Structure 1
Amino acid sequence: MTAINNVTDLTVEGDIGVVTLNSPPVNALSAAVREGLKGAFEQAIADSAVKAIVLICDGKTFIAGADITEFGKAMTGPSLQEVQNVIENAPKPVVAAIHGTVLGGGLEVALVAHYRVAVPSAKAGLPEVNIGLLPGAGGTQRLPRVVGVEKALEMVTTGQHVPAKAALAMGLFDSIVEEGALRDGAIAFARVVLAEDKPLTRIRDQNAKVEAARGKPEIFSEFRKANARKFRGFKAPEYNIQCVEASVNLPFDEGLKLERKLFMELMSGSQSAAQRHAFFAERQAAKVPDVPDDTPIIPVRKVGVIGAGTMGGGISMNFLNAGIPVTIIEAKAENLDRGVGVIRRNYENTAKKGRLTEADVEKRMALLTPSMNLEDLADCDLIIEAVFELMEIKQEVFGKLDRIAKPGAILASNTSYLDIDVIAASTSRPESVIGLHFFSPANVMRLLEIVRGAKTDKSVIATSMQIGKTIGKVAVLVGNCHGFVGNRMLAQRQREAMSLILEGAMPWDVDRVLYDFGLPMGPFAMSDLAGLDIGWDPAKTSSSTIREVLCEMDRRGQKNGKGFYDYDENRVAKPSAEVEKVILDFAEKRQIQRRQISDQEILERCLYPMVNEGAKILEEGKAIRASDIDTVWINGYGWPVYTGGPMFWGELVGLDKVLAGMKAFQEQHGDDFKPSALLERLVAEGKGFKDA
């Protein structure tokens, strides 16, 4: 064996040279890896005893992609293209031996080998689109030549991981070898290539599959049209499509040049910077500075959920999906039956789409125990309350749980606003109480806001963070305050949206501006979807807000076809003349002089106060870091990931500009716009939120 450097070695077995890469944890394409690969291949090519070369990786995976920590730094060592040229132009057959995940730059390395063999558990993909990029080392030019244009378009615009069996069927892999015998299988494959004198197949020279798409622009136009909604606002999917188009319409080297040009444009742009920020922010959110990694975890083998409504049912499904038994409690039999029925229907609908088998449905339902008796929660390790959002009701529930739950059980509230410490005070064990704020629909939405109380034990926090991971959520730890992080910031936007429609805008103006910004819907469309009458009490009505007036007029939202908008039978919204009159009359009664309001003012009035509130949240220590706030908003509220979240976006705009905007609005509209002390300090010191 010859060590090329500390991550790569070359061994010769008979007439087969084996280049082995070992750079934990995922063999990413760092400068040392590129240098080692280039050196090892040059040595194997120069050795006359070596007739074929196998590239294999130690550890849990083949090359899993670029070393993302090197992005934005000066290049050292050979470029990836230099390494690829050595492999692709080798005068001897090169076989890539693949296990684990061969992703991004890793797949681009495998695509310059003459052959690819893999174990059945391997997966391949080009996921660069997920960080706002495209494959920058020939992936968009070689992939269509081996799998065809349609499959290449799908892979590069979704970043999907293709299982080995499917990769073999589409021609991406040449052979599947036995699990656990990859090295021997790859060497045996290389010997067959030599014995049968198979050609040195360079993918770059294989044009049949791209020529089949030449003169068929409808392939691309139809793909764009089918995915327009999903790709809205993102640059990277469109740039990926343009590169695949180039693989069809341009010679290989010209296609490479376009790929490189568009890659560099994305790499230097704000969208990729924002998406990379979001990528790292999500991982960073799992780290809680004052909760060490060795904090004891409470085993959660059984979960109780109180409430079988929309939230309770959705929360239960998360645990059933993870194979954890759930006891679900309701006060009335009809509510319990309805809730369990909805859970079953949700699973059956998923099965109809082919994402579950009937056996999977029954397995999950068998883990669910419906009950009308709180005492049945006595053996649960974690109990989550999902009852009506009223403090008196929650205190009553927690008082009862305190008497019923076993010692050490975690008592959690799904409250979205209320004070966790007040809830915890209704028990004799506040250290066991925590907030687990799921977002609706709870079985779909990725965010789990975990709210620590003043006395919450660190084991309870650590267990809750781990549970979030177990059930596939992005868990973010936040502090206890009204609305926590997400809803506290949302309240700023909602207040300004309501003010803007009195001052001169209409609901559809505000919604259009925020939708065009990249949010899934504006505040008024969102209110209609949720129901205008949530929290509205007809007995206490006072016509003091536009929402109250609309509820009094029986305009309840989508549920009855009229809210801020009018809806047709397909729930398609159109502006309402009736609502416009309500707004004008309301403003006149309040003696508000209406005026023309620009789109820019709508955007700034709605979003600058959110950034400012985020700064206050940081100032008060209610979020650990600004990137946690971004993670909450991207995963819980649909903030466009290509702007990085509200705090990252504030820095993109310029904190000095946000501060100046807040001061101007404060002068015009009052202290709702008072800038936070942190925002003022950061601007004065020329710093950003990461310095806070």
Structure 2
Amino acid sequence: MPVETHIEDGIGVVVFSNPPLNPISASAGIPQAIEAALRALDADPQVKAIVLAAEGRMFSAGADIAEFDKDPAAIAAPARRLDDVLDGLAKPVVAAIQGGALGGGLELALATDYRIATADAKVGLPEVTLGIIPGAGGTQRLPRLAGAAQAARMISSGKVIGAHEALRIGLLDALAGDDVRAEAIAFARSVAGEGRRRSRDREISNEGGPEAIAEARGKAPRGAPGDAVRGALDAIEAGISQGFDGGLKSEYDIFDRLLVSEPARGLRHVFLAERAVARLPGLDPALKSASTQAVAIIGSGTMGTGIALAVAQAGLPVTVIDANSAALERSRSSVENTIARSVERGRLMEATGQAQRALIGFSLDMEAVRGADFVIEAVFEDISVKQQVFEALDRLADTGAVLASNTSTLDVDRIAAFTKRPQSVVGTHFFSPANIMRLLEVVRGEKTAPETLARAMTFAKQIRKVGVVSGVCDGFIGNRMFEEYLRQAYFLLEEGALPQQVDAAMEAFGMAMGPLRTMDLAGQDIGWSIRKRRAVEQPDRPYSRIPDLICEMGRFGQKTGAGYYLYGKGGKPEVDPAIDALVVEESRRLGITRRPISDEEIVERCVYALVNEGARILGDGIAARPLDIDTVWVDGYGFPRFRGGPMFYADRVGLPQVLSRIENFTGAYQGWAWRPADLLRRTAEAGTGFAALNGESA
């Protein structure tokens, strides 16, 4: 049964269960069963007060997000009716919170009279991060308990706070020890004769409210991505000016409208996709992987240092190994400076910073790899250099250790062949800066053992990364698609656009950074090196000369102070007329009459190039599902979360429309690059969409 009840010395106890996170799921019958239990206990004359509790480690993580796209009209109604029932009870209700109460879970607790939580519990209303607002009274009850200013800050940011902070601002009435249910029962007994203390009956303290609301409005993203923040603030203001019932109606209307909006759909897709990528089709879910205990990193450059920081931040010991003493000292200095800055800015406690420093060791001796059960090679992106490293690791690394290569484009199968244990070799493509970026592409080689793959995915989770499995190909999922994205950006320059227009159009679409600014940040020399290699390997796939001409000028991006843009002391990009002239001259050399290019065309060509190559990647079996591609691009390349990723976005546009535009492009400049992927054509003609290929993970 999802809900069980019993009576202890005059205290009615309602316990609901929907493991593991106890969502208030309408389809599972949770709010309906709680409602029935509350009504029965309220009508029982021997019951003096009621405790509402949950089984497991968490009170409730809120609504079941997976239900939101199935029947929007039925999502909020049962939870809202349950809150109405709570408001109408004659007897006081105490919520016993363990682990956390988030979203709809906290809204349920706010509708009770008293709230007691374990000291380690977390509470919050993070709905705006999903493009919606609290939809079961959260925008009205939280301000009445904590004040308008606190409510505006918490709800508009989606911030989750700890129990001590929640007690301080009035969301909780007491903190409990390990047995929160027993303490809640004792608390309920102590207040049984005091009558109701409904949150809806309280006055809102508006001290600092107008200022906090104005500040939150100013921080809201422009356009549709910020609609949820603005909507939440509108609902809070309605509660202040119109009272509880008026504010509640406003909240319901705004929630219902936002629930079916495009940004909310995209954000929900990303939320669910990031959790689905770990459930890899074909990998036995019963395959339990041991956690990594110690890590060794070969190479102390920017990437090796960033990976070491990420590992230490997760509480794992790590040794950075490099034969170059000067490089090793630079790495040590970089680690120290990064941690010190985090402590200075208040992002880390001093004790935490010291603990992270203590976890990172440095060695000039490759023998230091012994004892590590997860070894990551992070040397220069050159196959001969990697061969030397893996031949050494084959001799020195412990039996059973995972041997991982942080390659971004090279053949993991070739790398594995440098060892006598290819089953232990896997790719781990980190994204820079590795201590900050969430994505980790886990590359499965032809001979990678399932146990090795499972250990790599578990390691990704340990270090708080989103691990996505890719097959072996040049560039894997992300960089293979990025090549086509850049190809169109460069061709657009040849035809009539300028760098600042291409970047501005893609940033207005929602990309964290335009393609040309991205290459300036990454380093133009990196792309130059890859293009030189591919010019030999793939001579039939021509590239624009523009990025190479910029590199030949010694302009490698931000690190040299110049790339497509000029970079001054603050690192802000400034348009350089010399680059505009270079672009125009290259068009003249090619015999192209430059033409005006609309922002719409820029977005279509750059994004549909991603979609088309993504469809090829799916057809080749490099990615298991469209949602894997979407996760790579959202978490690794700055694709706007509210658009859901390139494959999800293509579904929302409509695959027949995407296919039609791609077919039009085949007859235009450099049309050879636009041959529609077979899978795209088949899916568009079938009228099913990419989402159907996500299977049960969708």
TM over 0.5: yes
Is 1:691 matched with 2:692?
yes
SS in 1 for 2:315: coil
In the TM superposition, 1:111-150 aligns within 5 A as: 111-150=110-149
Shift of the 379–78 alpha-carbon distance from structure 1 to 2, 3 Å rule, reads: closer
Q: Find the counterpart in structure 2 of residue 578 from structure 1.
A: 578
Superposed CA deviations along residues 67-112 of structure 1, whole A, max 9, x for unmatched, are: 3343232639972222111211212222112112111112111111
**Once structures 1 and 2 are overlaid, which stretch shifts more, 70-79 or 286-295?**
70-79
Is 1:222 matched with 2:215?
yes
Shift of the 336–213 alpha-carbon distance from structure 1 to 2, 3 Å rule, reads: closer
Is 1:408 matched with 2:406?
no
Shift of the 296–44 alpha-carbon distance from structure 1 to 2, 3 Å rule, reads: closer
Aligned-partner Cα distance in 1 for 2:544–2:602: 23
Shift of the 299–138 alpha-carbon distance from structure 1 to 2, 3 Å rule, reads: closer
**Once structures 1 and 2 are overlaid, which stretch shifts more, 20-29 or 294-303?**
294-303
> Does the 8 Å contact 1:234/1:642 carry over to 2?
no
SS in 2 for 1:418: coil
What displacement does 1:544 show? 7.8
Amino acid across the alignment from 1:667:
G
**Once structures 1 and 2 are overlaid, which stretch shifts more, 673-682 or 542-551?**
542-551
TM-score (norm 2): 0.93
What displacement does 1:295 show? 2.8
What displacement does 1:385 show? 0.8
What displacement does 1:344 show? 1.6
Superposed CA deviations along residues 3-45 of structure 1, whole A, max 9, x for unmatched, are: xxx2223322233222222333333223322222111111122
Q: Find the counterpart in structure 2 of residue 611 from structure 1.
A: 611
Superposed CA deviations along residues 166-211 of structure 1, whole A, max 9, x for unmatched, are: 111000011112222x2332122222223xx53522212212414x
Shift of the 647–21 alpha-carbon distance from structure 1 to 2, 3 Å rule, reads: same
Aligned-partner Cα distance in 1 for 2:345–2:163: 23
Where in structure 2 are there 5+ consecutive unaligned residues? 536-542, 694-698
Shift of the 8–77 alpha-carbon distance from structure 1 to 2, 3 Å rule, reads: farther
The partner residue of 2:36 within 36, 39, 57 is 39
Where in structure 1 are there 5+ consecutive unaligned residues? 1-5
Shift of the 266–331 alpha-carbon distance from structure 1 to 2, 3 Å rule, reads: same
What displacement does 1:573 show? 2.1
> Does the 8 Å contact 1:213/1:248 carry over to 2?
no
Q: Find the counterpart in structure 2 of residue 671 from structure 1.
A: 672
TM-score (norm 1): 0.94
Is 1:462 matched with 2:459?
no
SS in 2 for 1:534: helix
Q: Find the counterpart in structure 1 of residue 426 from structure 2.
A: 434
Aligned-partner Cα distance in 2 for 1:515–1:449: 24
The partner residue of 1:486 within 478, 481, 484 is 478
Amino acid across the alignment from 1:285:
V
Aligned-partner Cα distance in 2 for 1:324–1:45: 51
Aligned-partner Cα distance in 1 for 2:151–2:485: 41
Amino acid across the alignment from 1:370:
F
The partner residue of 1:360 within 352, 358, 361 is 352
SS in 2 for 1:408: coil
SS in 2 for 1:118: strand
Q: Find the counterpart in structure 1 of residue 197 from structure 2.
A: 201
Shift of the 158–544 alpha-carbon distance from structure 1 to 2, 3 Å rule, reads: closer
Shift of the 10–456 alpha-carbon distance from structure 1 to 2, 3 Å rule, reads: closer
Q: Find the counterpart in structure 1 of residue 48 from structure 2.
A: 51
Aligned-partner Cα distance in 1 for 2:5–2:280: 42
In the TM superposition, 1:222-371 aligns within 5 A as: 222-228=215-221, 233-295=225-287, 297=289, 300-371=292-363
Amino acid across the alignment from 1:555:
R
Aligned-partner Cα distance in 2 for 1:608–1:548: 24
Q: Find the counterpart in structure 2 of residue 28 from structure 1.
A: 23
Aligned residues: 678
Shift of the 101–249 alpha-carbon distance from structure 1 to 2, 3 Å rule, reads: same
Aligned-partner Cα distance in 2 for 1:75–1:226: 32
> Does the 8 Å contact 1:299/1:381 carry over to 2?
no
Q: Find the counterpart in structure 2 of residue 151 from structure 1.
A: 150
The partner residue of 2:6 within 2, 6, 11 is 11
> Does the 8 Å contact 2:76/2:136 carry over to 1?
no
> Does the 8 Å contact 2:412/2:472 carry over to 1?
yes
In the TM superposition, 1:586-597 aligns within 5 A as: 586-597=586-597
> Does the 8 Å contact 1:88/1:114 carry over to 2?
no
What displacement does 1:528 show? 1.8
Shift of the 544–186 alpha-carbon distance from structure 1 to 2, 3 Å rule, reads: closer
Shift of the 301–38 alpha-carbon distance from structure 1 to 2, 3 Å rule, reads: closer
Superposed CA deviations along residues 639-672 of structure 1, whole A, max 9, x for unmatched, are: 1111110000010111111101111101113220
Aligned-partner Cα distance in 1 for 2:152–2:440: 33
What displacement does 1:228 show? 4.5
Q: Find the counterpart in structure 1 of residue 539 from structure 2.
A: none
Shift of the 592–296 alpha-carbon distance from structure 1 to 2, 3 Å rule, reads: same
**Once structures 1 and 2 are overlaid, which stretch shifts more, 9-18 or 514-523?**
9-18
Aligned-partner Cα distance in 1 for 2:416–2:645: 32
> Does the 8 Å contact 1:450/1:476 carry over to 2?
yes
What displacement does 1:286 show? 0.3
Q: Find the counterpart in structure 2 of residue 188 from structure 1.
A: 186
Q: Find the counterpart in structure 2 of residue 3 from structure 1.
A: none
Superposed CA deviations along residues 480-499 of structure 1, whole A, max 9, x for unmatched, are: 00000001111111001011
What displacement does 1:535 show? 5.7
Shift of the 299–209 alpha-carbon distance from structure 1 to 2, 3 Å rule, reads: closer
Aligned-partner Cα distance in 2 for 1:606–1:77: 38
Superposed CA deviations along residues 131-171 of structure 1, whole A, max 9, x for unmatched, are: 22111011011111111222212221232222111111000
Aligned-partner Cα distance in 2 for 1:93–1:656: 57
> Does the 8 Å contact 2:156/2:216 carry over to 1?
no
Aligned-partner Cα distance in 2 for 1:690–1:295: 27
Aligned-partner Cα distance in 2 for 1:120–1:625: 41
Aligned-partner Cα distance in 2 for 1:379–1:581: 57
> Does the 8 Å contact 1:34/1:78 carry over to 2?
no
What displacement does 1:233 show? 3.2
Shift of the 235–60 alpha-carbon distance from structure 1 to 2, 3 Å rule, reads: same
> Does the 8 Å contact 1:121/1:179 carry over to 2?
no
> Does the 8 Å contact 1:298/1:460 carry over to 2?
no
Aligned-partner Cα distance in 2 for 1:125–1:653: 34
In the TM superposition, 1:471-550 aligns within 5 A as: 471-534=463-526, 536=528, 545-550=545-550
Q: Find the counterpart in structure 1 of residue 63 from structure 2.
A: 66
**Aligned residues: CA RMSD:** 2.2
Aligned-partner Cα distance in 2 for 1:465–1:208: 47
> Does the 8 Å contact 2:648/2:691 carry over to 1?
no
> Does the 8 Å contact 1:233/1:518 carry over to 2?
no
Aligned-partner Cα distance in 2 for 1:580–1:70: 50
Aligned-partner Cα distance in 2 for 1:9–1:640: 43
Superposed CA deviations along residues 515-559 of structure 1, whole A, max 9, x for unmatched, are: 00111110111122223233658xx99998222332333433223
Amino acid across the alignment from 1:190:
A
In the TM superposition, 1:70-109 aligns within 5 A as: 70-71=67-68, 72-73=70-71, 75=74, 79-109=78-108
Amino acid across the alignment from 1:440:
S
**Once structures 1 and 2 are overlaid, which stretch shifts more, 484-493 or 369-378?**
369-378
In the TM superposition, 1:365-384 aligns within 5 A as: 365-384=357-376
Shift of the 27–549 alpha-carbon distance from structure 1 to 2, 3 Å rule, reads: closer
